Amino acid sequence: ALAGEISPFLCSGSHQVQRDCQPSALNCFVEAMSQCVPPTPIRPCVLKYLGKTHNLWFRSTLMLEHQAFEKGLSLQIKPKQTTEFYEQESITLPQQEILDSLAELYCLLQEEDMWAGLWQKRCKFPETATAIAYEQHGFFEQAQETYEKAMEKAKKEHERNNASPAIFPEYQLWEDHWIRCSKELNQWEALTEYGQSKGHINPYLVLECAWRVSNWTAMKEALVQVELSCPKEMAWKVNMYRGYLAICHPDEQQLNFIERLVEMASGLAIREWRRLPQVVSHVHTPLLQ
């Protein structure tokens, strides 16, 4: 009975006022629940939400890891083999949800080794594991090429068979990490074009890339698209981009707004810092930069 009521309670919007309170009443409640024996089941997507929204990063991650082992998911790395595809394990939808949520939390925490280990276990395409290994060693050009090979291989496969929804997270990984490799290789013009391309419109990517190649027109257009609908955790960065535009746009310099934009961006960045884990790690780096 409690399991059916707990998820709606934990996700209730009434807890949003506690986001900046550390520790909050919700934090204490979840910490207490984690000590229950037997454990009260909480859906993986709810744990992921609690982790990133209410500063329960480590507790949510530990609970998801426990769920993974309880569901019988082995986290041993797959052996190297020469077949075209890894043999797919019979992973049920609940198990898939656990792995997706756990991988996203690892990614948000920038726990790259844990994330890589998880994906090397669950990937279908051997190219995915190879590309991740290249990334871990800093070989971004080889990683980018391997992601492109995986995309081409998947395209050919789907000309013969329909794609399974279970493989979609792996497709998203290819795109996200192809973009990451492009950033590491300073391919800013190509990324700006990709962010503006039909079918792949990504104003956040354009904002990140356009100022590096002095494409102020593209940056201004992207800023208009994101200003009214950006997530709260991105607000500090949007104000920072406004500052870039106010200083550097050759036709629309607004230097009198700079100080105000700096104050707003700094205040919002400090607020986001407080929502991160207390132990400083790689996840804090973007705010420090």
Residues 144-154 pLDDT 10s:
999 999 999 99
Q: Is the pLDDT of residue 23 over 90?
A: no
User: At CB < 8 A and 24+ separation, what contacts does 132-136 make?
Assistant: 132/177, 135/177, 135/180, 135/181, 136/112
Asked whether residue 34 falls in the same domain as residue 46, the answer is: yes
pLDDT digits (tens, 9 = 90+) for 41-91: 889 999 999 999 899 999 999 999 999 888 776 555 455 554 555 555 556
Asked whether residue 155 falls in the same domain as residue 252, the answer is: no
Nearest to 128 by CA among 160, 166, 175: 175
Q: Examine residue 192 and state whether it is found in any structural domain, yes or no.
A: no
Q: For residue 11, what is the DSSP state?
A: T
- Helices within the chain (DSSP H only): 2-10, 25-34, 44-53, 57-70, 93-108, 112-122, 126-136, 140-160, 168-184, 188-196, 203-210, 216-227, 235-248, 258-274, 285-288
How many domains is the chain partitioned into structurally?
Answer: 3
**Whole-model pTM?**
0.87
Q: Examine residue 179 and state whether it is found in any structural domain, yes or no.
A: yes
- Asked whether the CA dihedral 189, 194, 196, 197 is positive or negative, the reply is positive
Asked whether residue 111 falls in the same domain as residue 132, the answer is: no
Q: Examine residue 286 and state whether it is found in any structural domain, yes or no.
A: no
Place of tokens 């190219």: 127
CA distances from 278 to 4, 65, 110, 149 (A): 32, 21, 15, 40
Q: Examine residue 223 and state whether it is found in any structural domain, yes or no.
A: yes
Place of tokens 């395209």: 155
Q: Examine residue 273 and state whether it is found in any structural domain, yes or no.
A: yes
Q: Examine residue 160 and state whether it is found in any structural domain, yes or no.
A: yes
Domain range for residue 30? 1-74+92-122
Q: Examine residue 191 and state whether it is found in any structural domain, yes or no.
A: no
CA distance 67 to 86: 24
